[in-house]
Structures are given as structure tokens and as C-alpha cells.
Structure 1
Amino acid sequence: MIYTITFNPALDYVISVDHFEKGVVNRVTEEHIFCGGKGINVSAILKELGYESKALGFVAGFTGDEIVRRAQSEYGINADFIKVAEGMSRINVKLRSDEETEINGIGPKITDADLDKLFAKLDEMQMSDVLVLSGSIPKSISPTIYETILNRLQDKKIFSVVDATGDLLVNVLKYRPFLIKPNNHEIEEIFNVKLQGEEDLVKYAHKLQEMGARNVLISLAGDGSLLVDEHGGQHRLGVCKGKVKNSVGAGDSMVAGFIAGYLRNGDYKEALELGTACGGATAFSESLAKKDFIYENLRQLRGEN
């Protein structure tokens, strides 16, 4: 079984304004509402690829109810969220105009008792299950929560995937995560360096492996991606061709595609290809990508079109 955790999910209210001006009434030309959260996004793309997962996390208030409803009805995922008593799940406003602007909500207060309920669900994990830890965590939770979870599960030899930044990522490397997905800028921040080229990318990917990571997938935005796998292999891939409509969820889609590609036959090249196709398909869609479009991008990537 694959498990994902979204600690602070949200309803994303995405609006378009032709030319946003401060201090005056602006008329929205287009609007959409999505249930957002990195773990939810991963579960949704896995579902498109034929892999079931259990989406865990915390929700609160009427917005939390709507997140769960949309996750189930729109994405068809198993949303096993914990309802907490205080606060409400976030509404994040994403304004698309001459510039993109985001205003993110706070989220509910998560107590120790709420965390115990999450731990009880995670204790059901079996050997070789997959756990995806992605995104930031709310202020009401200790910044060591990722470490706490992986320490609790380390005897089960699960496949952990961590898509996070800074200390949240660095501090879990000792638990040998199966996959981490930093971008080039995050690597520069971690090591306080300025990367000069692909040799440097490989060099610091190996350093992350020395710190514990098994596989390091480096996303390079428009320049594609680089995977340094646990067997010493290096896999370099460009990007799919298309018009970018949406950046939200593209990285999560890449993670989901990589997991699905690897689970099929343990081939890292195939995992990177499917991950890249998923990320591209979401970037070229108004929301998360659908199955047919993912495989259309995969064929394009392989030169089969």
C-alpha cells in the first residue's frame, strides 16, 4: 500500500484578473476551486496511473469537509483524514494576472491527541509499503515530525519518499529515504554553494547519498531533471514540450509518476520517464493531469509520436 500525508491541506481558490490593481475593485474573469495539498496531489496522480493509495492528514471545519468531499468525488482517492476540533482548513487564494500572487491561510490547530491518531494509522503500515512525506508543516506541529514518523517506522523497512526543503529534508536523511526530490536552488541552500554545472549537480547528489538518501532526483525546471540512483547510475532527461498553463502540482505529479514507474519493474529509467511525463502533463493542464494526457506526454518524451 502507498500512503501519503498532507499535514495542512487547503481549498485552492484560483482566480484570474486581466490587470490587477491595488486599492480598487477588480473583476475576476475566471475562477476555479481545487482541493490542494502535496500528498493529495500525489494520491490523485497515482490513481490516474492505476495505483491505489491512502491519503492521510488533518482537516477541520466546513472547508475540511469540502476538501475530503472533493478528494473523493473528483480524484477518487481514499481520503482517510483526521478531523480536528480547533480552527479550519485553509483557503489559499492564487491570483493570476500580470504577476502571480498567492495568499495562503493558516490552517487548524493540531494537538498531540490528533497526532496520536495519525501514528495509529501509520502503525498499520507493512514491510515494503510506500510513505510519501511532502510539503511544509503547520506551526502547531513540531518541525521534527518527519523525523519522528520515520524513526517510528524504521524497523518496517518501508520505502519513504521525502519532498521537502531545508532542515525538514536534511534531518531525515539519516533514515535512508528511498527518494528525495530537491531542486538545484534547494541544493545550493543546503550546502551554501553556487552550482556551476552538471558535474556539480552530480557531486552534491552524491553528498546527499553519503548523508543517507538512496536516490536523488533533482528537478531543473525548464532544463529537465537528473536522477542519481542508488546503484551509481546517472539518468538525465529533458522536459516534455507544451504550453505551461499551471505550475501547481507539477512536482507532486513527478513524484507520483516516479513511484508508479519504479513499482512496475524497478527500472529507474522508466521511473524517471513516467515521472517527467506526469509533471509535464500537469503543467500543461488547468489542474492535475489525466491518464490519457500523461501517456501522450510519455510517448512524446520517448519519441514515439
Structure 2
Amino acid sequence: MIYTITFNPSLDYIVRVNDFKLGAVNRTTFEEIYPGGKGINVSIVLNNLKVENIALGFIAGFTGEEIEKKAKDMGCTTDFIKLKSGISRINVKLKSNEESEINGQGPAIDHDALALLYKKIDYLQEGDILVLAGSIPRSLPENIYELIIEKLRDKKVRIIVDATKDLLLNVLKYKPFLIKPNHHELGELFKVKITNQEESIYYAKRLREMGARNVLISMAGDGAVFVTEEDKVFKSQAPKGKVVNSVGAGDSMVAGFIAGYLNNNDFEEAFKMSVATGSASAFSEGLATKEKVYELLKDIY
């Protein structure tokens, strides 16, 4: 089974405003509300690709109820922990001449709620996949990723981590199955600016040396690179298309990789599927659909 954890899910209020003016009344030309959070995005896209999975995480208040409802309406299986107080956050994604975001804080997660999460992940078994994605709320321990991986260490669960900075670096000693920074995040890790695929490959190999088994680097319009645990390198240019949405494209890559890998445990197939799925979300108003993914997949070599 595949599990995703979203510590701080959200309702994503996505609006488009033609020529947004700061300090003025602006009217939308498009608006939609989706359940949000990196792990939830992965679960939604996996479901779109007909891959069974369970979304874990914490929800609170009326916004939390709506997050769960919308996720279920999109076909997701959820097993969220309902917090006793607070409300799940609302994130505003403004699309205009530039994309801007206003992200809420989210509710506090107490010790009892965290203990419930530990109890749920105790049921994971060898061969299961767990996706740890995104930032963590201030109410949780800074090393929560490490604590979770440590609990699963002897079960041979395949861990996928999509996080930034120390949250990512600190789990490398546990040899996660896959990590997926983008090229900006990769540059932040090594305090450099990455401008091409060869530089991404060099630093991806550095992360391999530091413990990651497989490293997938997304590079937006410059495509993607992938370095495997056997030190094989795969490169791809981005498919041609008009980018209308950057929200969830990286999460979609993670989902695509999982879907592709589960077909026959082939890394090249997983990589191609990840590129197609990330691009399918980037070229769509919402997250990638199976039809759009396979339409793009035939153009990836």
C-alpha cells in the first residue's frame, strides 16, 4: 500500500485576476477551491492514475471537514486525524501577471494527536511506500520526519521525501528510497545557483553520496534529471506546452514516479512517467489526469 502524510493540509483557493493591482479592488476571472497540501496532491494524482493509496494527516474545524469531503469527492481514500481545536488553513493562490501565494498557519497538533499518527503508521509493512512531503507546522518537533522514519526503520518501508533544507538533509542518513528537490531547492542545499542539467546531476550525485538511494530533480522548463541507486543517470527535456499552473507540479512528479515504478520496478519508466505527470499538471488548471499524462508520455524520450 502507498501512504501519504500531510501534516498541515489546506483548502487552496485558486483565483485568476487579469492585471492584478496592489491596493485596488480586483475581480476574478476564474476561481476554484481544491484540497491542498503536498501529500494530498500526491494522493489525488495517484488516484487519477488509478493507483490505490491512503492519505494520512491532520484536519481541524469546518475547513478540515471540507478538505476531507473534497478529497473523497476526488476519489481519495483518507484516514485523517481530527484535531479537537483550531481550523485547517486556507491558502490563496493568485494567478495574474505573476503568481503569488498567501498561506495560512494551520492548527496546533498536540501530543495525543501525534501519538495517533504513530499508531496508524505502525501498521505499515515491508514493501509499503510512505510519502513524506512538505513543511511541518511549528507545533510539531523539528525532527518529525526523522522520528517517523526511525519508527519504520526495521520494516523495510520505502520512504519518499519531498522537503527542503534541513528537513531533507537530516533524513539522508536513513537512506530514503527517493528524494525530489527541484533545482532551486537543490541549489539552496549546497549554497550554489544551478543553471543546467549537468550541474543538477553533479549535486544529485552528492546527495546520493550523503545517503539518498535515488534522486529526482525537477527543473521546470528545463526538464528533469534522475540519478538512480545504481548511479545511472537519466535526463529529459520538458514536453512542449503552455504552463498555466505551477501548483502541484512537483507533487505530481512524485505520484507519476510511483505509478511508473510500480508497473514493473523499472527506473527509466518511472522517470518518464514522473516527467509526463508533472508536465500534465503544469499544463492544466487542476492536477494531472491519466488521459493528459499518457498524451504527454509518448513525447518523452
TM-score above 0.5, yes or no: yes
Alpha carbons of structure 1 residues 276 and 199: separation in structure 2 relative to 1, 3 Å? closer
Residue-by-residue CA offset, 1:230-249 (whole Å, 9 max, x unaligned)? 01111011111111111111
| Residue of structure 2 equivalent to 1:129 | 128
**Unmatched 5+ stretches in structure 1:** none
Residue-by-residue CA offset, 1:170-208 (whole Å, 9 max, x unaligned)? 000011100001122222221223446544333322221
| Residue of structure 2 equivalent to 1:142 | 141
Moved more, 44-53 or 267-276: 44-53
The answer to whether 1:4 aligns with 2:4 is: yes
RMSD (Å) for aligned C-alpha atoms: 1.3
Alignment of 1:242-253 (within 5 A): 242-253=241-252
Alpha carbons of structure 1 residues 18 and 86: separation in structure 2 relative to 1, 3 Å? same
| Residue of structure 2 equivalent to 1:263 | 262
Letter in 2 for 1:178: F
| TM-score normalized by the length of structure 1 | 0.95
State the alpha-carbon separation in 1 of the partners of residues 292 and 201 from structure 2.
31
**Unmatched 5+ stretches in structure 2:** none
The answer to whether 1:299 aligns with 2:291 is: no
Quote the offset at 1:162 in angstroms: 0.2
Quote the offset at 1:98 in angstroms: 2.2
**Alpha-carbon contact 2:196-2:222 (below 8 Å) kept:** no
**Alpha-carbon contact 2:161-2:168 (below 8 Å) kept:** yes
State the alpha-carbon separation in 2 of the partners of residues 188 and 281 from structure 1.
25
| Residue of structure 2 equivalent to 1:166 | 165
Letter in 2 for 1:68: E
**Alpha-carbon contact 2:197-2:224 (below 8 Å) kept:** no
3-state SS of paired residue (2:299) = helix
Residue-by-residue CA offset, 1:35-89 (whole Å, 9 max, x unaligned)? 111111111111122211110000000000000000001x201111000012100
State the alpha-carbon separation in 2 of the partners of residues 180 and 55 from structure 1.
19
Alignment of 1:142-221 (within 5 A): 142-195=141-194, 197-221=196-220
| TM-score normalized by the length of structure 2 | 0.97
State the alpha-carbon separation in 1 of the partners of residues 225 and 216 from structure 2.
6
Quote the offset at 1:24 in angstroms: 2.7
Letter in 2 for 1:123: D
Quote the offset at 1:253 in angstroms: 0.6
| Residue of structure 2 equivalent to 1:56 | 56
State the alpha-carbon separation in 2 of the partners of residues 199 and 97 from structure 1.
33
Residue-by-residue CA offset, 1:105-126 (whole Å, 9 max, x unaligned)? 1101100110000000000000
Alpha carbons of structure 1 residues 292 and 196: separation in structure 2 relative to 1, 3 Å? closer
3-state SS of paired residue (1:300) = coil
Alpha carbons of structure 1 residues 194 and 247: separation in structure 2 relative to 1, 3 Å? closer
State the alpha-carbon separation in 1 of the partners of residues 269 and 238 from structure 2.
15
| Residue of structure 2 equivalent to 1:222 | 221
Aligned positions, number: 301
State the alpha-carbon separation in 2 of the partners of residues 283 and 199 from structure 1.
23
3-state SS of paired residue (1:301) = coil
State the alpha-carbon separation in 2 of the partners of residues 195 and 22 from structure 1.
32
